[in-house]
Amino acid sequence: MKYQVRFHAAAERDIAELLSELAPKAGVETALRFVGRIVDYCLNFETFPERGTRHDEIAPGLRTVEWRRRATIAFEVVGDKVIILRILYAGRTLELPDEEKNIGATSMSSLTPAAAALRP
Which amino acid belongs to residue 39? V
For residue 118, the model assigns a pLDDT of: 56
User: Which pLDDT value is given to residue 104?
Assistant: 31
* pTM: predicted TM-score of the whole model, two decimal places: 0.76
3-state SS string for 32-84: HHHHHHHHHHHHHHHCCCCCCEECCCCCCCCEEEEECCCEEEEEEEECCEEEE
Residues 6 or more apart whose Cβ sits within 8 Å of residue 68: none
Measured in degrees and rounded to the nearest 5, phi and psi for residue 17 equal: -65, -40
In whole angstroms, what is the distance from residue 35 CA to residue 67 CA? Answer: 11
Determine the pLDDT at residue 6. Answer: 96
Question: In the chain, where are the structural domains located?
Answer: 4-99+106-117
pLDDT tens, position by position, 56-87:
888 899 999 999 888 999 999 999 999 999 99
Is 80 exceeded by the pLDDT of residue 98?
A: no
59, 114 contact by CB (below 8 A): yes
Q: Could you tell me which CATH class the domain 4-99+106-117 is placed in?
A: alpha beta
Q: What is the pLDDT of residues 7-39, one digit of tens each?
A: 999 999 999 999 999 999 999 999 999 999 999
